[in-house]
Amino acid sequence: MGDELVDVNGEALRDVIRYQVQVDEPNVVLNLRRDGTDRPIAIGKAAGAPLGIELDSAVFDRVRTCDNHCPFCFIYQLPKGMRKSLYLKDDDYRLSHLYGNFTTLTRFTEADLERVITEGLGPLYVSIHATDPDVRTALLRNRRGATSLRWLELLLDAGVEIHGQVVVCPGINEGAVLDDTLLGVLDRFPRLASVGVVPLGVSDHTTEPDMRPHTLAEAERVLDIIDGWQSRFLAAVGHRMVFAADEYYLMTDREFPSAEAYEGFVQHENGIGMARTFGDEIAAAAAGDAVEGVGVRPGFFAWVDGAPATGYRAPRTSALTVVDERATAARHAPVVILTGEYGARVLSAHHSSLTELAGVEVTIHPVENGFFGGNIAVTGLLTGADLIAALGRVDPTARVLIPDVVLSEDRFLDGLTLADLPRPVEVVGTDGASLVRSLDRRTLAVSR
């Protein structure tokens, strides 16, 4: 405990990726340093067997920080006084590989390209935003924005799996510019695995006057453009390629596409197709079918201090269970589900099924995001303060459920913990299968 890992098998490691390659060997030599003294330790084991060492970081040298100044960046929209780690902007391809972070490739190098190709570090996730060089430069506020997508072409040429993203900023890269961007994807990057199109989130703390939420007409136009391009991509490359975030369907009150239209939910962690999988999981459970969740995006800040050093989207909270005995004793009580305003709209469509599963009245309580304000309505950005405010309006006898996506290492974004809440709650996985398991009276009867 507290030893410094100097090298493994003679290699001074830069990150957990190289660490895993070395410790998978059957014979491992660790060079540990304590109080300035190095101690080599030889370990023999089966190839691939874990060492049981706990690492405190996924990157051992330095996280490659972002030198873009995107006006839509949510880091710039954080209020003051949050914990320091949340203000770190990364543009590190290793964190893209490990945690699904999006990188602009503006700090990517020839050495990075060689390593990604040689070690097969895919999938990667790349922020495209626009394929027009001038528009992309303006969006990133970085002159390298005009040229850095050349790395995307080289990575795709080498067979690396890459998923792209476009954050749509009204008046800047929507409408005709979005249409041109998707044309550029077909022309230059047809080997992309997928492209997710997500709306701009604007908090009350933005200092950018040009950043504003979508109007209804703009959101509808985004969906129309994507619908048209899905048909073109399907004809040209054999799959739909581009997908709209769930928020667009909620903003426009349009029906979510079928499960088949999401083609395996390849951008599920980016908030694309979550509503469809959620509903399908609840419907399957209501029909008595076995339900396995697709999984869920860990949350905007998950990599910072919520995900373990091993990466690969591991669970963000240590206990998806009841908080204390009072919550367990209240299994027969009515249920209140606290969730974001968008999440509440998704859940409301399944209210009767959830109530039937639970065998008690289920109330879906939308929680307003007073901490960030603006148009922030996604569940993953709710804070402890938001939940405390909501709990003051909840039946004190009710059993209260909250989704795990609001937690990072058992802390909320504002630094509060479950212990700071004024009453016990249950933390459940942010997917339909987990919610069903938490509510289903048949499962609960067996578990008791």
The two domains 74-272 and 325-447 share their CATH topology (first three levels equal): no
How far, in Å, CA of 435 to CA of 160, rounded? 35
**Dist. CA 260–CA 1, nearest whole Å:** 49
Token pair, residue 213, equals 């939420």
DSSP structural state of residue 258: P
CATH topology of domain 325-447: Rossmann fold (3.40.50)
**Count of CB atoms situated within 10 Å of the CB of 209:** 7
Query: Where are the domains positioned within the chain?
Result: 4-44, 74-272, 325-447
* Contact between residue 279 and residue 432 where contact means Cβ atoms under 8 Å apart: yes
DSSP lists the bridge partners of residue 403 as 428
How many of the other CB atoms lie within 10 Å of CB of 401?
22
Give me the residues of the chain with pLDDT under 50, please: 297-308, 311-326, 329, 445-448
Task: Write down the pLDDT at residue 294.
Answer: 64
Q: What's the chain's average pLDDT? A: 88
Asked if 426 and 438 touch (Cβ cutoff 8 Å), the reply is yes
- What is the predicted pLDDT for the residue at 4? 84
What tokens does 176 get?
A: 């005709």
Question: Most distant CA pair in the chain: distance in Å?
Answer: 66
What is the CATH number that goes with domain 74-272? 3.20.20
265 burial via Cβ count (<10 Å: 0-12, 13-18, 19+): middle
The one-letter code for the residue type at 203 is S
As a whole number of angstroms, the distance between CA 81 and CA 2 comes to: 29
Report whether 386 contacts 371 (CB < 8 A).
yes
Predicted TM-score (pTM) of the model is: 0.89
Report the pLDDT value the prediction gives residue 298, as an integer from 0 to 100. 47
The predicted pLDDT at position 319 comes to 41
Q: Give which of 89, 156, 96, 95 is closest to 126, Cα–Cα.
A: 96
